[in-house]
Structure 1
């Protein structure tokens, strides 16, 4: 995710959004039961539009459309699919203003962040996989049997993509682009709170020439549409990003039918600041690690581990710097931290901060709502004085909250960093290259950052270990996960 270009961005106004329909077989249609779901602007708490509420019948129609389209799409050459995906990237860039406005309205994401990160990365994802679409191939194998033996990689068929509320554009594109590059069709169920950019992307993919039925979008709740997608016998793979709790259920359900799954789940990453760190760089990285996207980032860094010799100094610097982070209207280009995406997410953060107080935690800064326009705002918060067994340290808060703990030795830092059930990301600040390699090798995480945070690119795979899931997004590794290997052995 690019983090440059946050200055001098063009002004973006709140858009008027028409009520959304389902996108099935290349057509916009109402839901089977005619149900509607409200879409709320988290910066005001007001309903801005509605979208169709899909049920099992709608999911079945989408899967049927996908199965009908998957074969012809798979038989296209990789080069032909690449041309289509590259056009998607071009259109995303051309329609960037629309995407920024819709995503910011829906998620509460600051427009500056949305343009430089979410929209820019979405274009890069489709561009990257347009290149990889031309590289899918098998290999010949030399074996002692008198035969000609080779492998081929084939698409799986129809992929069910279930995506979360925090990065709708990026995390849906990270599934849809490699799935399409490999020759699959997709049924996408976006988060119930943030469905708008998924519908706009369906329009963009159709404009780019993705054939009818290759991408289908069903909006609605997880209990109905999501469950129907998980259980549908016509789905060949589930690609899921969300909480660990729901991920367990999704994996169990898919496992009953022995379907392959990719699970990118919760995180609770530690940022380690060693005594030799460059403090100016470290402080900036730490702040980015926990306020980025209002803390609604599964690879965020909500746990700060600081060497005892720097502990008081770092707390003092952080308190002053974080208090000055601009919080407010996501459509103000100066805003860095917007609202939480929904009222229930705000309430969850409040419960954890209250628990921290009960457990003897000291609120260094923040610790309360920001009352603004009826929106779901929470001030960036730093908490000190909690022990490692605290639920506030151990569990995923998913908001702009940072806990700070001291450590004495490198071994202690690694033990604390690895001391939660999660393993999605981790990071460290040091000027000692040997230490960087040594500690990175010991951290239990799918991705480790050194001397910065959230350095992501479509070529670099990410994903979890432990309760943060399995499988990888991004990179050629993701593309491979949307294919199956066939071996052919011809007797000579």
Structure 2
């Protein structure tokens, strides 16, 4: 499939069928209300499928199914090795259906098929495999006590986990939440973003085929103000994990206090800084990665390196490198392997990005891009856009645009660069480019973010936690630490005769 031509992908896309019903208690079902909404391809405006518009009544059914499954132990008390085998089979099924899973995300939210089939879909399989392999390798503890006392400390699943995921990485974000929560023994009720629900529904079908018991993994597509809020306020959801905007993350925190004090694990907005020092010896690689850091996935990445701080002595030369790379990354049909950028997820997001661009034209130096374009006369496409000499207080440098818009800001000293990088309500990620080891360590220590990537951008792996500080939230996905948010510590104290 990596050798597929443009026409191959178009033909395969035309052969797809879409699951549009909710998946509750092991079967596909219409929303109780009978209402649906359309899933639309942002590259063409084509309606892909009518999708069940779930609301509070459907969420109630899904949570009840998850609770029954949890209480009777069909998954929560399944032998660890057996749970492991099921999730390993799910990973294999994702790989067996790799091109379909990639196409679903490409068609649904506009991402490049080349990225979906080489990064997103294989990543989903990898993360399910990684968490599956953890299941029978995590040990509980015995606390030190005196004679006649045995204190056992165990990690136990929480129960029913609600997961609300964003539209920018539909399959991967569903996986980051579900793989860890399921590995820990929980039931899951997933509410995918209404802009991109199709891969999550197919994932549920594959999970059932792999042997995940009925009721353990449920998917309720719908809108945030109905299905999402219902999950947040539900009295029988034990934990809610969320990736999305900071504003919505704050609402879920409020829902917890208004309901049953469920755990909330938010991973929210970002405005990640990328610091280029003059002692970086490979400026071409730094420019390549800086372009990747903002234009990958059309800039629709919470950790996108959207603030580029460049030491003044090399700034002009570096800007020229960035312009050249941006002009070589013009958007095209997401199904064309030759395309360098795909479509923006929908009309609303496209208009929001263009408002920032239009306002930026009056307050900063637009050096490339800045226009909305079409492909074959259709679609939600925006050119890769760069503003130079951006004032640090400009909304271009302060607000999360969530699109292919880069702000370049010069600095004169290390202290100034660190100060500006930290001067943000967000703290998700940062990048540092330098060949001075002391500077790399010193600056990394001072940056108030969840991940610092040195001489690369946006580094992540299954082995390392992903999440932020400040108003980027405090949830952590990936790594063994992710399991901590889906389990509770339980002490069992036994007195015995010596």
Distance (Å, rounded) in 1 between the aligned partners of 2:137 and 2:405:
43
Offset of residue 476 of structure 1: 0.3
Corresponding residue for residue 12 of structure 1: 9
Give 1:376-391 correspondences, 5 Å limit. Answer: 376-391=380-395
Give CA-to-partner distance per residue, 1:324-343, whole Å, 9 cap, x none.
11420000011121010011
Of 291, 296, 305, the match for 1:287: 291
Offset of residue 46 of structure 1: 2.3
Corresponding residue for residue 55 of structure 1: 55
Answer yes or no: is the 8 Å Cα contact 2:154–2:491 preserved in 1.
yes
Answer yes or no: is the 8 Å Cα contact 1:162–1:226 preserved in 2.
yes
Corresponding residue for residue 485 of structure 1: 489
Q: How many residues align?
A: 486
Offset of residue 145 of structure 1: 6.8
Offset of residue 171 of structure 1: 0.7
Please tell me whether residue 371 in structure 1 is matched to residue 374 in structure 2. Answer: yes
Distance (Å, rounded) in 1 between the aligned partners of 2:45 and 2:457:
31
Give 1:99-248 correspondences, 5 Å limit. Answer: 99-144=101-146, 146-248=148-250
Distance (Å, rounded) in 2 between the aligned partners of 1:207 and 1:17:
17
Offset of residue 136 of structure 1: 3.3
TM (norm. structure 2) is 0.95
Of 406, 421, 424, the match for 1:420: 424
Q: Which moved more, 1:364-373 or 1:284-293?
A: 364-373
Secondary structure of 2:155's match?
strand
Answer yes or no: is the 8 Å Cα contact 1:78–1:135 preserved in 2.
no
Corresponding residue for residue 267 of structure 1: 270
Answer yes or no: is the 8 Å Cα contact 1:270–1:305 preserved in 2.
yes
Answer yes or no: is the 8 Å Cα contact 2:74–2:213 preserved in 1.
no
Distance (Å, rounded) in 2 between the aligned partners of 1:193 and 1:219:
10
Secondary structure of 1:44's match?
coil
Offset of residue 295 of structure 1: 0.2
Offset of residue 263 of structure 1: 0.5
Offset of residue 137 of structure 1: 2.9
Offset of residue 9 of structure 1: 5.2
Secondary structure of 2:189's match?
strand
Please tell me whether residue 455 in structure 1 is matched to residue 459 in structure 2. Answer: yes
Of 404, 408, 422, the match for 2:408: 404
Secondary structure of 1:439's match?
helix
Answer yes or no: is the 8 Å Cα contact 1:24–1:61 preserved in 2.
yes
Distance (Å, rounded) in 1 between the aligned partners of 2:274 and 2:19:
42
Distance (Å, rounded) in 1 between the aligned partners of 2:453 and 2:434:
11
Answer yes or no: is the 8 Å Cα contact 2:184–2:487 preserved in 1.
yes
Secondary structure of 1:75's match?
coil
Distance (Å, rounded) in 1 between the aligned partners of 2:94 and 2:66:
23
Offset of residue 17 of structure 1: 3.3
Please tell me whether residue 350 in structure 1 is matched to residue 336 in structure 2. Answer: no
Structure 2 stretches lacking a partner, 5+ long: none
Corresponding residue for residue 258 of structure 1: 261
Secondary structure of 1:434's match?
helix
Distance (Å, rounded) in 2 between the aligned partners of 1:19 and 1:258:
34
TM (norm. structure 1) is 0.97
Corresponding residue for residue 74 of structure 2: 72
Secondary structure of 2:427's match?
coil
Offset of residue 460 of structure 1: 1.1
Answer yes or no: is the 8 Å Cα contact 1:446–1:462 preserved in 2.
yes
Secondary structure of 1:470's match?
coil
Distance (Å, rounded) in 2 between the aligned partners of 1:235 and 1:137:
26
Distance (Å, rounded) in 1 between the aligned partners of 2:79 and 2:257:
32
Q: Which moved more, 1:279-288 or 1:432-441?
A: 432-441
Judging changes above 3 Å, is the alpha-carbon distance between structure 1 residues 264 and 9 closer, same or farther for their aligned structure 2 residues?
Answer: farther
Secondary structure of 1:399's match?
coil
Distance (Å, rounded) in 2 between the aligned partners of 1:19 and 1:483:
31
Structure 1 stretches lacking a partner, 5+ long: none
Of 305, 323, 329, the match for 1:325: 329
Distance (Å, rounded) in 2 between the aligned partners of 1:402 and 1:237:
36
Answer yes or no: is the 8 Å Cα contact 1:12–1:97 preserved in 2.
no
Distance (Å, rounded) in 2 between the aligned partners of 1:377 and 1:17:
26
Please tell me whether residue 303 in structure 1 is matched to residue 300 in structure 2. Answer: no
Judging changes above 3 Å, is the alpha-carbon distance between structure 1 residues 303 and 483 closer, same or farther for their aligned structure 2 residues?
Answer: same
Judging changes above 3 Å, is the alpha-carbon distance between structure 1 residues 435 and 470 closer, same or farther for their aligned structure 2 residues?
Answer: same
Secondary structure of 1:73's match?
coil
Offset of residue 19 of structure 1: 5.5
Give CA-to-partner distance per residue, 1:28-50, whole Å, 9 cap, x none.
11110000101110001222211
Give CA-to-partner distance per residue, 1:66-87, whole Å, 9 cap, x none.
0111232111121111111111
